[in-house]
Every structure is written in C-alpha cells, then in structure tokens.
Amino acid sequence: MIERSEAELPPDPGSSWGRAVTWGAVSGLVFASLVIATWGFVALGLDRDVIELPGVGILVAPLSVAAATIVVASAAAIALRRRFSGRPGSLWVALPGGLLAWLAFALVSGVVASWSRPEPGEADVLAPLASEVAVGLSTGPFGLAIVPLSAIVVVAVMLSTARPAGRDRGAA
C-alpha cells in the first residue's frame, strides 16, 4: 500500500554531505551511462557520427560529456543536501542543472575543439572554428539529449532518496 508523504520532509539527522556527495556521484555515473547509450541509439537510428566535422579531435565528445556529468552530479548533490537539511524547494534547485549541464557541454566542446590541430598533411583551412564545433555539437540531436537526460537523472535521484514522513521509516 502506498503511504502519503508530505511535500517537504523534516531534517534527517543521519544525513551529511558525504551521503549527498555519494548520491551525486552515483547520479553522475548513471547520467554518463545514459548519454553513452542514448548517443549509440541515436547514431544507429540516424546513421550519423557524433562529430561529423573533419579535423576535430577525438577528445571533444568525451571531455564535453565529462563536464556535463560533473554539473549533473553537483546539482544532484546540492539538491539532496538541501533536502536532507529540511529546506523547501530542493527539486527546483536541482532542475536548472540540466540547462547548466548543456551549457557546460557546449563550452567544453568549443574549448577542446580549439585545442585540436589538423593532422599532418591537412590544411588549416579545413579545421572548423571552435564556435562552429560548440554550436554544431550542442544544438544537434546528440547535444540536445543532454537536457532531458540530466532532468530524468536528477528527478530519479530525488525520488529514489525520498523517505516516508514519521518515525516508522522502516529499515534503511
């Protein structure tokens, strides 16, 4: 039977930053796994490569996803710590993390693309601009998947760590 739970929970004296950071790290790993799986299905379904621009280094996508993962993990940890402390509105603090993750993804893709050097024998003229890589990657189907995936992960971690109100919380 499903019990009714209140919108805002009282502070949990057993919670600490360690618990919030642990859940944040787990949510970051889940987010990175979802991005990799989603990108694989999108690449297969659309018959496209993640980075289609010639002359772009192979580290652009992994480092960009790593930056987005750090933002999602941080947003989840901060929101969970806020909720563990009993402060209201913890979910509304966490949801902008999706947009911030997308922004971090775009910025890091541009920065890493600016480090790319053309292969020996290729002309510099063919190398795309860093802004072209950042805009192309973040507004394509691969980059746009970052926002809903991060929102799903943050909401899932908030719901999975919810506890019923009252003294009888059961075994934890």
Q: Classify residue 34: in a domain, yes or no.
A: yes
Question: Would residue 9 be called left, alpha or beta, if left means φ above 0 and alpha means ψ between -120 and 50 degrees?
Answer: beta
Please check whether residue 42 is in contact with residue 145, taking contact to mean a CB–CB distance below 8 angstroms: yes
Q: Classify residue 29: in a domain, yes or no.
A: yes
List per-residue pLDDT tens for the chain, 172 residues long. 445 554 555 555 555 678 888 889 999 999 999 999 999 999 999 898 887 776 777 788 899 999 999 999 999 888 888 877 777 666 776 678 888 999 999 999 888 888 766 555 555 544 567 777 788 788 888 889 998 999 899 888 888 877 655 555 555 5
End-to-end CA distance of the chain: 18
Please check whether residue 26 is in contact with residue 153, taking contact to mean a CB–CB distance below 8 angstroms: no
Q: Classify residue 4: in a domain, yes or no.
A: no
Q: Classify residue 1: in a domain, yes or no.
A: no
SS3 137: helix
Instruction: Show the tokens assigned to 138.
Output: 């973040």
Residue numbers of the domain that contains 140: 17-117+125-160
Q: Classify residue 25: in a domain, yes or no.
A: yes
Q: Classify residue 2: in a domain, yes or no.
A: no
Q: Classify residue 67: in a domain, yes or no.
A: yes
Q: Classify residue 148: in a domain, yes or no.
A: yes
Domain count, the chain: 1
* Residue 140 to residue 9: CA distance in whole angstroms: 39
